[in-house]
Chain A
Amino acid sequence: MSDPYLKPLPEPSIDSLPYWEGLKDRRVMLQRCSDCRTVRHYPRPMCGECHSMEVDWIEASGKGRVYSWTVAHHPFHIGFKAETPYILATVDLEEGVRIQSQLLDVDPADMKIGLAVEVIFGQATDDLVLPYFRVAK
């Protein structure tokens, strides 16, 4: 018996389901407007640039640079108690949108704006894969 999964679970919507399904295949999928080709995240029904509701899903390269971060020391949720302190990085992806996740295996003293990172994947539950980051190889 594995330990119970205590972390919050996402509730995918009709708008975001392809994102979560993509993660199961270890791919970061992003919405791109079918009309003006603007990439957007988090998933939502309308393009903010041209207001089209037609969308294509593209696979992100997974490469990006640190925009900012925090080091979480106090566990505000029981599911994260065992992993504190952990780094939460806000990352500019190459595709022009941001994604936030934990940046693993890096000394907080080495953190800086612009640090090159890449996505890795973690199997959270049987049905849930989450994206994480590591320093780019």
Chain B
Amino acid sequence: MADSLNGKAAITGIGETEYSRGADKSSIGLMLEASLKAILDAGLKPQDIDGVIPYSLGPVGEEIMTGLNLTDVRFSAQTPMGGASPVAALQCAAAVIAAGVCNHVLVVLGRRGSSDSRVANRIAAMPQFRQISEFENPIGAIAPAQLYAPMARRHMELYGTNEDQFAEIAVTMREHAMLNDNAIMKKPMTVEDHHASRMISDPFRLFDCCLESDGGTAVIVSAADRAKDSRAPVTILGVAEGHPDSPSTITQRPDLMTLGLAKAAPRAFEMAGVKHADIDVAQIYDCFTYMVICELEDLGFCKKGEGGAYVEGGRIRLGGELPTNTHGGLLSQAHIAGMNHVYELVRQLRGEGGAAQVAGAEIGLVTGYGDLGDGSVAIMQKAS
């Protein structure tokens, strides 16, 4: 059980569109463009794809099958966990591959988060937010910034976590984005810029909040024995999802600061058979600066309450002990709901990270966080 999915599957192809605030393509157009790039990158033809897992918000599997003319799909599903969906989809893909159902599963996400419906309207329509809609929207708790801010506030009150530590994350993401040709935010940011940005929902300022973006990203998860012929396969060593206590509402959760990732991470590390010190590069779901702190704690890189101090002193910058979000993250590259984090981890482990390449990166980790506390994590290694 512990090593059930270790080595069973590898990511063989990755594809992304241009990330922007005004795409000239529909969401399905963005998904198909990214998908085709990923399929070709894997050295495959569209007809080789026999599994499809699209993001749970937006165009469905049937549209992808029609669009790419896939005629032999044997498995399709969604993993409706908001930003935890892409990494949870890797677990889903690896599981159906290990079961022998599929050889090549397409995991794809495309959205017009900037050009179409904005986040407060999007989540109101999601069944995962039903209790929020009934009990919290009427009194003015509407958007993720407002729903998540009390988690950050309590962390600050109990542990002394502060806005300089939030700024360190925001500035780091911006510096990394400036090294990325496919990043939206390219203007330099200082700690002072962060502190001067307008308050959205205390303690979150504008520069603590992720972008709203248009774009598509796709990866191909292949059976290990079918991955050998591809150009640069990256093996999934460990993958897991976890759900917090009271997953349908944050308000009723016994401990607001411990999320689903805290349950998933020990399973993923055990499955992978690696230690935290083995992780050369990390892509951490960064919808808000604080979430990076919380996830580093839930992952076990430091104890609960120590995440603020952990990110200080350049530890998560390129050249630091744990280079994090080398693409610029949701905060400064683009918000592709974390599928861009999966793409970036594969890029790094292939040694194709360009100006943001972590020297000698062999093993890396990617997380997802979504809805109201769901978490997912995958640990990968370049195939030998």
Contact = CB atoms under 8 A, between A and B. Distances in A.
Given A41-B252, A73-B198, A97-B252, A130 B150 contact: no
- Classify chain A's interface size: 35 or more
Given A68-B150, A69-B153, A101 B139 contact: yes
Contact of B201 (A11, A73, A128): A73
A9 interface: yes
A45 B11 CA distance: 42
Contacts of B134: 10-13, 16, 42
Contacts of A70: 146, 149-150, 153, 201-204
Interface in B326-350: none
A112 B139 CA distance: 21
A21 B310 CA distance: 49
A49 to B, nearest CB: 13
Contacts of A11: 133-134
Contacts of B162: none
B79 interface: no
B101 interface: no
B35 to A, nearest CB: 32
B251 to A, nearest CB: 5
A124 to B, nearest CB: 7
B251 A73 contact: no
Given A11-B133, A72-B146, A67 B139 contact: no
Contacts of A100: 135-136, 139, 141, 251
26 contacts: A7-B138, A9-B138, A42-B131, A67-B256, A68-B150, A68-B153, A68-B154, A69-B150, A70-B150, A70-B153, A70-B202, A70-B204, A72-B201, A73-B200, A76-B142, A77-B140, A85-B202, A86-B140, A90-B256, A97-B252, A98-B252, A100-B139, A100-B141, A113-B157, A113-B158, A131-B139
Interface of B: 120, 124, 131, 133-143, 145-146, 149-151, 153-154, 157-158, 198-204, 249, 251-252, 256
Given A11-B133, A68-B151, A70-B149, 5 more contacts: A13-B134, A70-B203, A77-B120, A100-B251, A108-B202
